[in-house]
Amino acid sequence: MPEFGAAINKGKLRGKVDPVLIVGSGLTAADAVLCAYNSNIPVIHVFRRRVTDPSLIFKQLPKKLYPEYHKVYHMMCTQSYSVDSNLLSDYTSFPEHHVLSFKSDMKCVLQSISGLKKIFKLSAAVVLIGSHPNLSFLKDQGCYLGHKSSQPITCKGNPVEIDTFTYECIKEANLFALGPLVGDNFVRFLKGGALGVTRCLATRQKKKHLFVERGGGDGIA
């Protein structure tokens, strides 16, 4: 995603006739759609789920707080590809499709859930279908920290189990986790998590008489 944003900012995709392919139905994919759409770059948006799938993240977000994401979801629902029509000039969604292959001539083969194949020429492709954290520095890849200790840590399926106020790991004292590791996908949530960790550490330092207050407040010296 950073590389895609940088390419757009440098004008590398400006004036391209062929669309950009974006794969994924999460928030990062939605960010990429908005980035291209707002720069007048045509988009082919491919994802495996139905637009009515209740597990889509957009259905869990309040419209008033996240209007930009609901704009993407609205396009996903109303600007879907049809075999009877061509690609739309700005954005076309392909629900229940997946990428079958990429060709050396910048062409991509998409396949629908019914097996129908379609070939499109692209200017770029951005695949945003999630990732797994690298916790190799922890014992057993950190699996023991999750709600399901026998499974790898993942944002959706098995986040790190924490105290919801201090963000300290339930199964490892003095170890704290924030962000996607605990299931928080939004950058805006990091501030609250960081404050929770800071307050916890400050309280412990006070108890050890190692914390110095200035001006009668609760700040850290």
Query: Mind spelling out the 3-state secondary structure of 13-64?
Result: CCCCCCCEEEECCCHHHHHHHHHHHCCCCCEEEECCCCCCCCCCHHHHCCCC
Q: Tell me the Cα Rg of the chain.
A: 22
Alpha-carbon span 120 to 87, nearest angstrom = 10
The pLDDT score that the predictor gives to residue 13 is 72
The pLDDT score that the predictor gives to residue 2 is 66
Residues pairing with 119 in the sheet:
109
Residue ranges, comma separated, of all CATH 3.50.50.60 domains in the chain are 2-127
The pLDDT score that the predictor gives to residue 83 is 77
Q: Which CATH code for domain 2-127?
A: 3.50.50.60
Per-residue pLDDT tens listing for the chain (221 residues): 667 777 777 777 766 678 999 999 998 899 999 999 998 899 999 999 999 999 898 998 899 989 999 999 999 999 999 877 778 889 999 999 999 999 989 999 999 999 999 999 999 999 998 777 888 888 899 999 999 999 999 887 899 999 999 999 999 999 999 988 998 877 667 788 899 999 999 998 888 776 656 555 555 44
How are beta strands 97-102 and 124-127 bridged, if at all?
unpaired
The pLDDT score that the predictor gives to residue 221 is 45
Directed axis angle between helix 27-37 and helix 2-9, to 10°? 10
Residues pairing with 93 in the sheet:
45, 80
Residues pairing with 190 in the sheet:
none
The pLDDT score that the predictor gives to residue 207 is 84
The pLDDT score that the predictor gives to residue 192 is 86
How are beta strands 43-46 and 91-94 bridged, if at all?
parallel
The pLDDT score that the predictor gives to residue 137 is 85
